[in-house]
């Protein structure tokens, strides 16, 4: 495939740009957009009471932004391969402002209005597919696992939402967290345009978007990493959006207490994501993935019995948080290792979509199972089964692919 340099590449080469600065600004952008993406989850219980929603409707409310943000990563990742992160980060941030303000000022009086706003709020979730190829291009192969893992820690934006949204609503009204987030998004868009530069000599594909996506879909690593990320990051997303409801229902916690515990879950997963990338640089991503999936299996099976929250339930949930965070970092260390340089965005888009979709299904399943049986045990057992399938894939297929096809450089 022919490659050429864009004007932004030339600007980077002449005007400079330090990799660590680019990584820091990209990570901030990811966190800010994820903060916006997660605004509905902490308010799900409040909206359920206000609008008399069923458990399935509540799960649907928090899942819609997830699925849109996930599917949207496919074209956004391919567009980032073509136009670079300097263009795409400000563009995604500015586009996310519209649904954020709509939800805060107009669209929170009915389920239909919330679903419309949540649909377009998904734009914020596509920022992940901008940052991975952007960061990947700035670092050599032996440092990409850690670098992409550090960028992935921006998913802690969901913790910002969890810690601030309910408090802001209680203190200043429903519009407050949405208006604040819109202001921060606008400020970040300006910062990104002024500071970000695409990496010098960044490979830029000239083939049409559809052709590049077709090429990415033919790569074995695209499908393998998609399956693993659907479990690792999908599990993280599912817990982060559904954990407040789960803790409130299963353990009788208050909304504020449940939101704070969810923030702790998210924070640990966020901290472990760069650790997973760092370990992958040293031990190999498939070994790290195998270890994390074993922990997920054990934690899910323990939690299926709804043990006392202190200490067993807390241990099980935090162990799964650490494992899902590290596993997410390891998966994209695998992508950074195996994906062709000029296809990283396209592969990231597909893999990121799989991860988000992996987070879309479990809240719906958990809501439906609880509505049917009044218990979450079956849903957690299903998580353990899925993690076991991912473990077998990692051991018997992905490890062989990395041995046979890993680039020598």
Our CA angle for 22, 23, 29, nearest 5°, is 90
Element (H, E) at 223: helix 220-251
pLDDT at 397 over 60: yes
> For residue 342, which of 245, 226, 199, 244 has the smallest C-alpha distance?
199
pLDDT (tens digit per residue) in 273-307: 999 999 999 999 999 999 999 999 999 999 989 89
pLDDT at 15 over 60: no
Q: What is the mean pLDDT of residues 203-228?
A: 87
Residue 406 confidence class, pLDDT cut points 50, 70, 90:
low
Position of tokens 């599912």?
238
Residue-range domain boundaries for the chain: 3-403
Confidence (pLDDT) at 140: 87
Greatest CA span in the chain, whole angstroms? 63
> For residue 359, which of 35, 159, 185, 122 has the smallest C-alpha distance?
122
CATH number for the segment(s) 3-403: 1.20.1250.20
Position of tokens 């239909």?
112
> Please, are residues 343 and 205 in contact by the beta-carbon 8 Å criterion?
yes
pLDDT at 14 over 70: no
Residue 340 confidence class, pLDDT cut points 50, 70, 90:
confident
- Please give the Cα distance from 403 to 295 (Å, whole number): 25
Confidence (pLDDT) at 405: 62
Confidence (pLDDT) at 6: 42
Q: Concatenated DSSP letters for 317-344?
A: HHHHHHHHHHHHHHHHHHHHHHS-GGGH
Residue 407 confidence class, pLDDT cut points 50, 70, 90:
low
What rounded mean pLDDT belongs to the chain? 86
Lowest average pLDDT, out of 37-46, 79-88, 117-126, 353-362, goes to: 353-362
Say how many Å lie between the first and final Cα of the chain, rounded: 19
Residue 9 confidence class, pLDDT cut points 50, 70, 90:
very low
């Amino acid at each position: 495939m022919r490659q050429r340099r864009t004007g932004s590449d030339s600007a980077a080469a002449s005007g400079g740009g330090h990799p660590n600065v680019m990584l820091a600004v990209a990570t901030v952008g990811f966190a800010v957009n994820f903060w916006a993406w997660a605004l509905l989850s902490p308010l799900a219980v409040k909206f359920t009471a206000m609008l008399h929603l069923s458990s399935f409707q509540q799960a649907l409310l928090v899942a819609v932004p997830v699925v849109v943000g996930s599917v949207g990563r496919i074209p956004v990742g391919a567009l980032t391969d073509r136009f670079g992160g300097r263009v795409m980060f400000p563009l995604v941030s500015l586009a996310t402002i519209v649904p954020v303000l709509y939800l805060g000022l107009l669209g929170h009086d009915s389920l239909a209005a919330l679903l419309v706003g949540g649909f377009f709020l998904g734009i914020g979730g596509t920022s992940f597919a901008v940052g991975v190829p952007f960061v990947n291009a700035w670092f050599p192969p032996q440092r990409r696992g850690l670098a992409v893992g550090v960028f992935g820690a921006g998913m802690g934006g969901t913790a910002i939402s969890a810690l601030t949204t309910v408090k802001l609503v209680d203190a200043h009204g429903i519009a407050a967290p949405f208006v604040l987030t819109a202001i921060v998004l606008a400020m970040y868009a300006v910062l990104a345009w002024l500071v970000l530069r695409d990496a010098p000599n960044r490979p830029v594909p000239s083939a049409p978007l559809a052709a590049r996506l077709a090429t990415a879909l033919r790569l074995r690593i695209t499908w393998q990493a998609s399956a693993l990320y659907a479990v690792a990051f999908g599990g993280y997303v599912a817990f982060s959006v559904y954990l407040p409801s789960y803790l409130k229902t299963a353990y009788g916690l208050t909304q504020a207490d449940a939101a704070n515990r969810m923030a702790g879950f998210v924070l640990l997963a966020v901290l472990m994501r760069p650790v997973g990338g760092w370990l992958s640089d040293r031990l190999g991503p498939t070994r790290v993935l195998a270890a994390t999936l074993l922990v997920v299996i054990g934690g899910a099976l323990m939690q299926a019995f709804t043990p006392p929250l202190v200490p067993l339930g807390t241990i099980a949930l935090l162990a799964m948080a650490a494992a899902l965070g590290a596993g997410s970092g390891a998966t994209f260390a695998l992508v950074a290792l195996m994906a062709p340089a000029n296809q990283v965005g396209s592969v990231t888009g597909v893999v990121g979509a799989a991860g988000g979709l992996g987070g879309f299904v479990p809240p719906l399943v958990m809501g439906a199972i609880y509505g049917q049986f009044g218990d979450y045990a079956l849903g957690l057992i299903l998580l353990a089964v899925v993690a076991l399938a991912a473990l077998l894939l990692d051991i018997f297929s992905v490890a062989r692919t990395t041995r046979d096809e890993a680039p020598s450089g």
